[in-house]
Amino acid sequence: MEEQHKKILQRNRINLVKDLNPSNLCDALLEKGVFTQDMIDEIKSFGTRRDQARQLVRDLETRGSRAFPLFLECLVETGQHDLAKTLQNEGPAVTLQPAKPKQVVRPGLQPLPVSSPLDVNTQSKDVSHVVPLERPTTTPSPSPEKEYQRPGPPGRTRRDSIQSYKMDASPCGHCLIINNVEFDPQSGLSHRKGSNIDCDKLEKRFKALNFIVEVKTNLRQRQIRHALSALCKKDHSEYDCCVVIILSHGTEVAHNRFPGAVYGVDGQHVPVQHITNYLNGQHCPSLQSKPKLFFIQACGGDERDTGFEVSPDEAQPSICRADDQMDAIPMSSSSDSLSTSDETDARATLPTPSDILVSYSTFPGFVSWRDTESGSWFVETLDRILEENAATVDLVTMLMVVNNEVSQNSAKGLYKQMPGSFNFLRKHLYFQTQT
């Protein structure tokens, strides 16, 4: 949006929030291509009309040069003539120019290799012994238009047909950690003893991976949304990646893309799909085509997994953990009773944002276990695997190792946990590590 139009919106923000009717406006903005369905869903997720109007104006400022004239048209079409007249009179006459069709240049497709970049016979326990990378003394920063190829370690042959994300900016990007430990008594949720251990580990780990780390503690639902909105509004142009880590209680909610939700300390939840929307290519243009990583240490529901028997050949020693707690709502409450979401169930026809990876500590619908002395199973394992392997192994492969190791744990000698990821990355991702 042009700067003069942004200033008009900012000068009239109070009146817009006070008088704007988003319910009729959203469909018109969607039809004209000003907003996407993701943005409309997020606006409607805010409870009050004023909150919806406030978010609509914020999002409008992030759109293109035609957004303001189209917004005026939508105001007139929905009968909000006074607001349209006020905005129109504050600036030069707005003439809507037809959009010029863009010429789409499609690159030639190359087949992917049949085998993984790593030896498929390599056992997870041997991943830490991969020969470390030899980094050049100086690494010129490639232009954003060119694909970034990470130099491979000596003695190994990399498959060049799978590209790697550019990850050489310094700092690499922002990392936001939300650590909810002490919950309001009326929320019915217990304090998460041991979560500070997780937070400290992850703060140190991502600082070592050259991220700018910001930690926020004990946030309410509205504060979680505000922190994500502030992160969205940052200029990420000079960075290569963005990370969001949430340590909290969680629950299962209806969804159309990413399952689950995390709780604020006030007992009100934020759906994971709304969390990811803040940083997708529509809401945060400076992160377009860049990896956006979300790590969720929270329950996906209140179901406990007792596992299943395997043959002696597949059995591995189970690590029994006795002093463990769940990051779930109390068993006496149902996730439905605490859910205020009115969204529909999964629809396979909706598009999925690219360059996003959401790593869950547990399978959707199940509890996630946390040791009160050493932290959660998932974070403890993730931190160690990153420390041992980040220099030479890509993120998706490391997460598979985390899945395997956490699956060997056993709470109270009975209950199991299975982490997993919703992976929409298009390339390999290798973190920066200290030489």
pLDDT tens, position by position, 268-301: 999 999 999 999 888 899 999 999 999 999 864 3
How far is the C-alpha of 82 from the C-alpha of 80, rounded, in Å?
6
* Whether residue 38 has pLDDT greater than 70: yes
Average pLDDT of span 333-362: 50
39 CB-near residues (< 8 Å, 6+ apart): 59, 277, 282, 283
DSSP state of 303: B
- Domain end (from 58, 89, 120): 89
Number of domains in the chain: 2
Residue 142: inside a domain: no
- Cα dihedral sign, 329-335-339-344: positive
Residue 191: inside a domain: yes
**Domain of residue 37, residue span:** 3-89
How far is the C-alpha of 190 from the C-alpha of 328, rounded, in Å?
9
Residue 376: inside a domain: yes
pLDDT value of position 279:
94
pLDDT value of position 426:
92
pTM: 0.57
Q: Which two tokens stand for residue 45?
A: 């997720």
- Which one of 255, 274, 299, 428 is the catalytic residue? 299
How far is the C-alpha of 429 from the C-alpha of 238, rounded, in Å?
18
- What are 321's strand-pairing partners? 411
* Strand, coil or helix: 127: helix
Average pLDDT of span 220-236: 96
Buried b (16+ CB within 10 A) or exposed e, 132-156: ebeeeeeeeeeeeeeebebeeeeee
Q: Which residue has the tokens 């954003």?
A: 144
Average pLDDT of span 352-365: 79
Q: What values do phi and psi take at 303, rounded to 5?
A: -85, 135
Q: Which residue has the tokens 């199973």?
A: 377
Contact of 316 with 408, CB cutoff 8 Å: yes
* Whether residue 43 has pLDDT greater than 90: no
* Strand, coil or helix: 214: strand
* Whether residue 146 has pLDDT greater than 80: no
Query: Do residues 84 and 192 share a domain?
Result: no
Most confident of 150-159, 216-225, 364-373: 216-225
Residue 139: inside a domain: no
- Domain end (from 89, 107, 125): 89
Four-CA torsion 38, 261, 365, 363, nearest 10 degrees: 80
Mean residue pLDDT of the chain comes to 75
How far is the C-alpha of 290 from the C-alpha of 243, rounded, in Å?
11
Query: Do residues 321 and 181 share a domain?
Result: yes
Query: Do residues 211 and 63 share a domain?
Result: no
CATH assignment at residue 241: 3.40.50.1460
Contact of 166 with 240, CB cutoff 8 Å: yes
* Whether residue 387 has pLDDT greater than 50: yes
DSSP string, 338-380: H---------TTS---SSEEEEESS-TTB--EEETTTEEHHHH
How far is the C-alpha of 70 from the C-alpha of 98, rounded, in Å?
11
Residue 140: inside a domain: no
Q: Please list the helix, strand and coil fractions of the chain in percent, rounded to the nearest 5, in that order.
A: 30, 15, 50
Q: Are strands 261-263 and 250-251 parallel, antiparallel or unpaired?
A: antiparallel
The widest CA-to-CA distance across the chain, in whole angstroms, is: 78
Apex CA 247: angle with CA 397 and CA 389, to 5°?
Answer: 25
Q: What values do phi and psi take at 69, rounded to 5?
A: -60, -40
- Domain end (from 89, 113, 135): 89
> Edge to edge, what strands does the sheet with 292-297 contain?
211-217, 173-179, 241-247, 292-297, 356-360, 420-423
How far is the C-alpha of 70 from the C-alpha of 28, rounded, in Å?
9
Query: Do residues 54 and 178 share a domain?
Result: no
Query: Do residues 372 and 275 share a domain?
Result: yes
- Which one of 5, 249, 274, 283 is the catalytic residue? 249
How far is the C-alpha of 418 from the C-alpha of 378, rounded, in Å?
9
More confident residue, 356 or 345: 356
CATH assignment at residue 51: 1.10.533.10
Please write the tens of the pLDDT for every residue from 299-329: 643 443 333 343 444 444 444 444 444 444 4
* Whether residue 199 has pLDDT greater than 90: yes
Single-letter amino acid code for the residue at 34: V
Query: Do residues 213 and 361 share a domain?
Result: yes
Residue 197: inside a domain: yes
Clarify whether 249 is annotated catalytic: yes
Question: Whose CA is closest to 381, among 423, 428, 418, 329?
Answer: 418
Query: Do residues 79 and 177 share a domain?
Result: no
Average pLDDT of span 385-406: 93
- Indicate the pLDDT class of residue 127, thresholds 50, 70 and 90: very low
